[in-house]
């Protein structure tokens, strides 16, 4: 899994867009699982992901879940299977 692949999955979600924060892209991913794969960044505000430890399927599922948590209700209703 590469950063470009993650970016493509995340930006394919409806109305998703990328922003820069201190020169690094933010994609709003919230996860609280495997500490060997995921770690808190900025006191739990962001999560770092070891891309070598996740499958594309698992990462897509996590990105979709994060999107559903952040997306406006209207978009969630328009894209229920995302």
d(CA 35, CA 24): 22
Q: What is the pLDDT of residues 36-53, one digit of tens each?
A: 887 777 766 667 788 899
Strands (E), 1-80: 19-21, 24-26, 38-41, 46-49
Which pLDDT score, from 0 to 100, does residue 19 have? 73
Query: What's the predicted TM-score (pTM) here?
Result: 0.66
Contacts 24+ apart (CB under 8 A), 55-59: 55/1, 56/1, 56/5, 56/9, 59/1, 59/6, 59/9
Per mean pLDDT, which range of 10-19, 32-41, 53-62, 64-73 is the poorest? 32-41
């Amino acid at each position: 899994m590469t950063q470009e692949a993650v970016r493509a999955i995340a930006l394919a979600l409806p109305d998703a867009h990328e922003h820069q924060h201190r020169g690094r892209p933010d994609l709003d991913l919230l996860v609280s699982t495997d500490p060997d794969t995921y770690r808190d960044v900025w006191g739990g505000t962001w999560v770092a992901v070891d891309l070598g430890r996740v499958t594309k399927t698992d990462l897509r599922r996590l990105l979709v879940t994060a999107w559903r948590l952040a997306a406006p209700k209207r978009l969630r209703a328009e894209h229920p299977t995302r």
